[in-house]
Amino acid sequence: MTAVIHLRAETKPFERRSPLSPKTAKALISAGFRQTAAPPLPHIYVHFAHCFKKQDGWATELSRFAKAGGLLYDLEFLVDDRGARIAAFGFSAGFSGAALALLSWAHQLLHPGVPQGAVPAFDSASALVELVRSSVTEALPLNDGEYPRLMIIGALGRCGKGATECCLAAGIPEKSVLKWDMAETSRGGPFPEIVDVDVLLNCVYLGAHRVPPFTTLESLSTPERRLRVICDVSCDPNNENNPIPVYSGYSSFESPTISPSGTLDGPELRIIAIDHLPTMIAREASDEYAGLLLPSLLQLRDREKEGVWTRAEQTYRERVSELP
């Protein structure tokens, strides 16, 4: 196998992350790989394709590889022998989602009825935290001096831990952060407790199996609802297994919140549905991810016999076999 890795150019607006960092690129070069930035080629691809879980348009996207005889190693499906992902942006996604949700909460109090503006680019996570802290502090007098109450569903995973760390770093008291995981959700939703918090963060990895929705338009439509912001970090609105089925599209860093897909009683509710949240802290996210990915990239020459890559190829073949 050739020892060349092509780093695809990214064209998605605001996206600044990279699966390779200067440090890991140097390690690969030292190991004999050549690297170059190039447009996509119809051969072997290693990237996030967002089509293996039968998302909207999955068949069209996957057919492009199958018809050309290509091979897709989806980064989301690079797993070890226990089925755990070898690298993920989960922590950074949760951290960024919590930050943006708190900014949205503060914005609603400080500028009621005014759409939230574009999210600026941050050079570091600490710069983002400082903005969140100052915005929340400014909004506190309009909330009777009380910090917002947040519910994090999936709090024990990497994503949930990132969300929790951001909240605490921004000065939110730990008692104001309600951490839910499987023990709390095992009874099945919708969960009435959700309307009693200010911010809901869904940090649950969306798998192949349907779960009862955590909340619904009906359960949210009450004049007593306290909830003002939902950040669906998992963000897969077109998936039939989406446990937050109260919106139908995506938001963006240019326009970070959207309205629910139906009319609700109660205060204004805004939803954050951005599918690449970690790019808010692109430097830290890229460094962490690239470091986790490097050991497997160093084995790419032996992809026909190396476990991570053989498992990823098997997953690709299985998905192709399901094409209509």
Average pLDDT, the chain: 92
Amino acid residing at 30: S
- pTM for the model stands at 0.84
Rounded percentage of the chain residues whose pLDDT exceeds 90? 73
Domains of the chain: 4-87+282-321 (3.40.50.720), 90-280 (3.40.50.720)
32-83, pLDDT tens digit by residue? 887 666 444 467 889 888 889 888 889 988 888 888 888 999 999 999 999 9
Q: CB–CB of 153/178 below 8 Å?
A: no
237-285, pLDDT tens digit by residue? 888 889 999 999 999 999 999 999 999 999 999 999 999 999 999 999 9
Residue 4, pLDDT above cutoff 80: no
pLDDT of residue 38: 46
Confidence of residue 193 (pLDDT cuts 50, 70, 90): very high
pLDDT of residue 42: 60
Q: CB–CB of 94/159 below 8 Å?
A: yes
Q: How many CB atoms lie within 10 A of CB 89?
A: 27
